Amino acid sequence: MKILVVNGPNLNFLGIREKAIYGDQNYDYLVKTIKDKALEVGAEVECYQSNHEGAIIDKLQEAYFNGTDAIIINPGAYTHYSYAIHDALKSLEKIYKIEIHISDINSRESFRSNSVTAPACDEQIVGHGLAGYLEAIDHAVLNRS
């Protein structure tokens, strides 16, 4: 199984940005944790992070052609307004897609509870911290087409 994990803007600042919300662990820790989990379940994983909307769309479109089975995406702030990322996700009908958020976006500022990208995904996991990524990997393996 081939899984693409896409992280949007500011996720590279884990461990730096708003530690009370996102925790003390840095992005390298997250990537290592994801790769260890993928190894445990026998999946191939690629982790990708960009602060640029177009680069994220390019990476999603690349997944269409390279045999990706599942996408786990934390669109960051793009969650709330990127119809372009929504459209890119929506076009990947044969790929299982999970939107992930470290914090509970539904219990924060009101604008955060609106996700324009979630409707293009098969499921959404919010508020489970970094462990939500590991949960998403389990869901992706379980729901493999």
**Which of the following is catalytic: 22, 78, 96, 133?**
22
The binding site for substrate comprises 74, 80, 87, 102-103, 112
Strand, helix or coil for residue 40: helix
What region, left, alpha or beta, does residue 81 occupy, with left being phi > 0 and alpha being psi -120 to 50 degrees? alpha
Q: Judge whether 86 counts as a catalytic residue.
A: no
The binding site comprises 74, 80, 87, 102-103, 112
**73: which strand partners?**
6, 99
**Which of the following is catalytic: 86, 96, 101, 139?**
101
Query: What is the Cα 34 distance to its own chain's centre?
Result: 11
Q: Judge whether 52 counts as a catalytic residue.
A: no
Q: Strands (DSSP E) along the chain, which ranges? A: 2-7, 44-49, 70-74, 96-101, 123-126
Query: Which one-letter amino acid corresponds to residue 128?
Result: H
Dig out the tokens for 102 from the structure. 């470290």
Active-site amino acid positions: 22, 101
